[in-house]
């Protein structure tokens, strides 16, 4: 400023006060002098001036491109474009994988980076306290890229696990094994470099040993926990039956989940539910629809099949939940399946009103027995009058079908062992009320059978199975020579 004052004094001494335009000339000279005097200082602060007006300073670059003098919006556009074009290329064990920066895990906030550029800040640091940096790396995306590389060039580590032992009643450890994979830290550094510089990176990395997420020691702890989980007993009762889940069954209910390096055994609800469903199925019954034979006008001729209510279990879900809760608490479980009846309907079947609707042409008052394999019934007739039945029965199953045709009762036993001799695949001791009507085909009691009729009917070796009291009735009523007609 002293120099500027001296220049002004010199100018005043050599300029006539009365000269025309003197003030204008002096003004122009001062302007020139000011420009000369201030030129050097202004040049020195040009960077600060650029910040002040929101322009990128001299020397600012993004991905190798000069940003000097650009506005924040212009820089942001360049950043976005450069980020989209930047790639990460990794070569491992002869396999090369090129991935766009964003997919590799590079996260670039173009507007925030533009602000950092015009402000002369580090893009890797938050623009504001507590904020997010303009350039970051997503570790989950890097892990996904590492998995892709490992799938092509590496080998997966095998977690240790548990399985039921050969005995089925306890768990044992299946050892894990190391794998080979890309060094995730080195890969992260490559992605970080590409993100911060917005320049594509091409690097060769080596495979390193990768330990399994679940160690053998963790699996040992899991096996012990699983054995504790299945130790308590589980018993169900229903309709006079008792069903127990043995240790092997309980072991089949266990699954595991890897959590932070631990293998956590848990009871699988769907597996427990399957066992409960099987137990329920053992006692449930479908209703048997009754059939009445009617003529064309709908008049009842005779019943052809009695209706029988079904049975269904009503608390499957509650029992499943209670079993899981008990075992999770280390306690044994004993519960009951509750049931309710399912009402059966009766339908009408139109048949001929004449005697041709019967399977046998009987004389008046003649005793004969009708075995209907379609309806799974047995009925006693005298002439064309039903004197007993129809009664639900069981007949031969696949491979042991009951024969069809017209036969006669030829032999009876109040009690007999059935099978129980060479050539027979079964043996039933002390079977009551045995009425033979052809070869080894007989009507007899079947105390081992829980249900009779359609749905449970095909269970004998060819004989007609009946409840004890019904078999007794036919034994007492049928004479030697009584006709027996078996048909569909």
Q: Residue 340's pLDDT is what?
A: 97
Q: Report the C-alpha gap between 65 and 57 in whole angstroms.
A: 13
How would DSSP label each residue in 50-102? HHHTTBPPTT-EETTEE-TT-BHHHHHHHHHHHHHH-EEEEEETTEEEEEEHH
**Per-chain mean pLDDT for the chain:** 88
Q: Residue 15's pLDDT is what?
A: 38
Q: Residue 121's pLDDT is what?
A: 78
Query: Positive or negative CA dihedral for 405, 407, 413, 414?
Result: positive
| Residue 402 binned pLDDT confidence (cut-offs 50, 70, 90) | very high
**Mean pLDDT throughout 324-333?**
98
Higher pLDDT, 35 or 369: 369
Q: Residue 41's pLDDT is what?
A: 34
* Rounded CA Rg of the chain: 48
Higher pLDDT, 188 or 427: 188
Domain segments of the chain: what residues? 2-44, 45-212, 216-357, 361-487
Q: Report the C-alpha gap between 183 and 210 in whole angstroms.
A: 9
Which pair of tokens denotes residue 106? 């590079």
| Residue 132 binned pLDDT confidence (cut-offs 50, 70, 90) | confident
**Mean pLDDT throughout 117-145?**
80
**Mean pLDDT throughout 191-197?**
95
- The class level of CATH for 361-487 reads mainly beta
309: left (phi over 0), alpha (psi -120 to 50) or beta: beta
Does residue 421 surpass a pLDDT of 90?
Answer: no
Q: Which residue among the candidates 14, 463, 472, 487 is catalytic per the annotation? A: 463
Tell me if residue 420 is catalytic: no
Q: Report the C-alpha gap between 380 and 385 in whole angstroms.
A: 8
Q: Residue 51's pLDDT is what?
A: 46
- HSE-up of residue 269 (Cα within 13 Å, Cβ side): 7
Q: Report the C-alpha gap between 103 and 105 in whole angstroms.
A: 5
Q: Residue 457's pLDDT is what?
A: 78
**Mean pLDDT throughout 331-355?**
98
Q: Residue 21's pLDDT is what?
A: 39
Please, which residues have CB within 8 angstroms of residue 305's CB and are 6 or more apart in sequence? 288, 289, 290, 291, 372, 375, 376, 377, 390, 392, 453
Q: Residue 29's pLDDT is what?
A: 29
pLDDT more than 70, % of the chain: 87
pLDDT in tens, 60-117: 888 888 999 999 999 999 999 999 999 999 999 999 999 999 999 999 999 999 998 8
423: left (phi over 0), alpha (psi -120 to 50) or beta: left
Does residue 297 surpass a pLDDT of 90?
Answer: yes
Least confident segment among 46-60, 141-155, 369-383: 46-60
Q: Find out whether 219 and 227 touch, Cβ atoms under 8 Å.
A: no
| Global pTM value | 0.66
List the CATH code of the domain at 216-357. Answer: 3.10.20.800
Does residue 33 surpass a pLDDT of 70?
Answer: no
Q: Which residue among the candidates 388, 395, 432, 444 is catalytic per the annotation? A: 444
């Amino acid at each position: 400023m002293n120099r500027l004052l001296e220049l002004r004094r010199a100018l005043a001494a050599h300029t006539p006060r009365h000269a025309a335009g003197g003030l204008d000339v002096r003004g122009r000279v001062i302007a020139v002098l000011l420009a000369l005097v201030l030129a050097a200082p202004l040049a020195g602060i040009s960077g600060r001036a650029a910040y002040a007006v929101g322009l990128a300073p001299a020397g600012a670059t993004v991905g190798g491109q000069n940003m000097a003098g650009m506005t924040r919006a212009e820089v942001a556009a360049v950043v976005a474009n450069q980020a989209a074009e930047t790639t990460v290329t990794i070569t491992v064990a002869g396999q090369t994988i090129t991935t766009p920066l964003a997919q590799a895990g590079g996260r670039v906030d173009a507007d925030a980076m533009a602000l950092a550029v015009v402000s002369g800040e580090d893009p890797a640091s938050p623009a504001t306290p507590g904020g997010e940096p303009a350039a970051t790396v997503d570790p989950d995306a890097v892990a996904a890229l590492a998995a892709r590389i490992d799938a092509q060039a590496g080998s997966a580590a095998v977690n240790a696990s548990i399985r039921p032992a050969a005995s089925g009643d306890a768990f044992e450890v299946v050892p894990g094994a190391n794998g080979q994979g890309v060094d995730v830290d080195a890969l992260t550094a490559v992605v970080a470099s590409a993100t911060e510089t917005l320049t594509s990176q091409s690097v060769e990395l080596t495979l390193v040993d990768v330990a399994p997420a679940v160690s053998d020691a963790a699996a040992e702890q899991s096996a012990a926990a699983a054995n504790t989980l299945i130790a308590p007993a589980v018993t169900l009762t229903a309709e006079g039956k008792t069903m127990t889940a043995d240790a092997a069954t309980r072991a089949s209910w266990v699954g595991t989940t890897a959590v932070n390096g631990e293998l956590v055994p848990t009871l699988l609800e769907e597996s427990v539910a399957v066992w409960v469903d099987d137990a329920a199925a053992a006692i449930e019954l479908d209703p048997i629809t009754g059939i009445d034979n009617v003529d064309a006008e709908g008049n009842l001729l005779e019943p052809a099949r009695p209706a029988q209510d079904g049975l269904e279990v009503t608390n499957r879900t509650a029992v499943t939940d209670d079993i899981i809760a008990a075992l999770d608490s280390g306690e044994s479980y004993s519960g009951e399946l509750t049931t309710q009846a399912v009402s059966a309907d009766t339908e009408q079947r139109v048949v001929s009103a004449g005697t041709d609707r019967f399977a046998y042409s009987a004389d008046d008052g003649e005793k004969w027995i009708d075995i209907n394999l379609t309806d799974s019934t047995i009925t006693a007739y005298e002439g064309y009058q039903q004197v007993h039945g129809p009664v639900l029965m069981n007949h031969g199953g696949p491979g042991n079908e009951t024969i069809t045709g017209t036969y006669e009762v030829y032999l009876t036993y109040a009690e007999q062992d059935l099978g129980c001799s060479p050539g027979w695949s079964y043996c039933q001791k002390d079977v009551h009320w045995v009425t033979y009507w052809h070869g080894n085909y007989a009507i007899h009691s079947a105390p081992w059978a829980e249900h009779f009729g359609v749905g449970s009917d095909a269970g004998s070796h060819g004989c007609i199975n009946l409840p004890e009291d019904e078999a007794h009735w036919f034994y007492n009523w049928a004479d030697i020579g009584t006709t027996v007609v078996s048909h569909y």
